[in-house]
Amino acid sequence: MLDWEQIFATRSSRMRASEIRELLKLLDQPDIISFAGGIPDPALFPDVAFKEAYSDIFSSAQVGAALQYSVSEGYKPLREWLARDVAKIGIDCTPDNVFITSGSQQALDYLGKLFLSPNDTALVTWPTYLGALSAFNAYEPNYDQLSLNGNRTPEAYRDTAAKTGGAVKFAYLSADFSNPTGETVDLAGREKLLALADELDIAILEDAAYQHLRYDGEAIPPIMALDIARRGGIENTRTIYSGSFSKTLAPGLRVGFVVAAMPVIRKLVLMKQAADLHSSTINQIAIEHVASRGFDAQVAKIRSVYSKRRDAMLAALDKYMPKNATWTRPEGGMFVWVTLPEGMDGAELLAKSIATEKVAFVPGRAFYADGSNANTLRMSFSCADEAMIDEGIKRLGRLISNAIRAAA
Ligand SMILES: Cc1ncc(COP(=O)(O)O)c(C=O)c1O
């Protein structure tokens, strides 16, 4: 029999099943209270608006074009809508600076492919979005911990990269309501990152998947907007901004986007021609149809629902968690990040939690490039109602309190 492993490329050795994807299977069991998924609540999808959009497309002369191949850059009216939308948050660009991807996940894959030669270094936050690690892993990089408080010198990053035989290429982060912690990088942190990137002469990949999901507090300009303001225009920036309609409209259509200077866009277009030619034509048209008629109302609706769920989760954590656990208090997004006492293991806890309490979450270790910090948990509040959140956290609090007592 053919020994497949022998003929797979070396990069395939770093492709592993994601703990999260495995966990998503649990959502099918009706009696599990799941804080695991981190996906939007399907009850909030604008399904009526999409029905109208597809119906309009199919009953118009546009249908032929909608079902046809299209340009790799993406559907022009959608790129125009996006250029106007990001301008509202200080990202002044032309539609040519906007490139449509099949979900922002594809942007991460392309950017990994574009920047990372084997052994190059990607700076990532500790923890970081697991899907970004999976996307970059295929290009065989090393990871170094991105510090946003300025306590590491550029030389320290360069030395670490040189030891492994490569160069630092980019810093990747979600500045708003990150997956997995829900935390936001403050203005000073964003400025420090821009200064560090200048000194290292690297790109910044700003993943803005949760940008629109702010529930309270003051919005902070995206790193891309700060970069444009400093440099006097998008063509002089080093930031590459990626966004998505997955968390606001619906992920099933797979429409995301990148905003960047033209040299980056031109390369991405070539990559897309080689990979999948273009993102689904009809889905891009439907997204533009729905977004241009009711994006703000849809965002207001989901913010109102998710903010109540966030409040319910924080209130339940205050009520039921033992004193020696800590957690983040996010101003938006879908996640709260829980840290348990040292020595506890989120994966072991999950196995017990599913067996005895029927509550699911994601063990935090998978979000660390070095597999450390097993005593952390990612809890998503997006798909459970307030009563379920209270009940689920009550059960989890009981389990964790017992586990801490048993370990003492
Ligand atoms: C931080 C972050 N980036 C990117 C993605 C990818 O989303 P999509 O490909 O649906 O746009 C996700 C999905 O969960 C995410 O959490």
**Which of 39, 130, 179 to probe ligand 1 with, by most ligand atoms within 8 A of CB?**
179
Q: What is the pLDDT confidence band of residue 240, given thresholds at 50, 70 and 90?
A: very high
**Which of 176, 181, 244 to probe ligand 1 with, by most ligand atoms within 8 A of CB?**
244
pLDDT score recorded for residue 29: 73
pLDDT score recorded for residue 18: 63
Q: Mean pLDDT over residues 344-356, rounded? A: 91
Cα 105 versus chain centre, distance = 8
Q: What is the pLDDT confidence band of residue 150, given thresholds at 50, 70 and 90?
A: confident
Q: Whose CA is nearest to atom 16 of ligand 1?
A: 179
Give the full edge-to-edge strand order of the sheet including 335-339: 326-327, 335-339, 376-380, 362-363
Residue 96 CA, ligand 1 centroid: distance in Å: 23
Using the predicted structure, report yes or no on whether residue 355 has a pLDDT greater than 90.
Answer: no
Residue 133 CA, ligand 1 centroid: distance in Å: 12
Give the three-class secondary structure for 10.
Answer: helix
pLDDT of 387-408, one tens digit each? 999 999 999 999 999 998 888 7
Tokens of 68: 């046809």
Tokens of 345: 């293991």
pLDDT of 328-349, one tens digit each? 999 999 999 999 999 999 989 9
What DSSP line would sit under 335-373, residue for residue? EEEEEPPTT--HHHHHHHIIIII-EE-EEGGGGSTT---
- β-strand partners of 124: 145, 172
- CA–CA dist 239, 332 (Å, integer): 23
Helix and strand tally (H, E) in the chain? 14, 13
Which whole-number Å values give the CA distances from 241 to 104, 258, 353, in the listed order? 10, 6, 38
Q: What is the pLDDT confidence band of residue 17, given thresholds at 50, 70 and 90?
A: confident
pLDDT score recorded for residue 20: 58
Residue 169 CA, ligand 1 centroid: distance in Å: 21
Q: Mean pLDDT over residues 99-121, rounded? A: 98
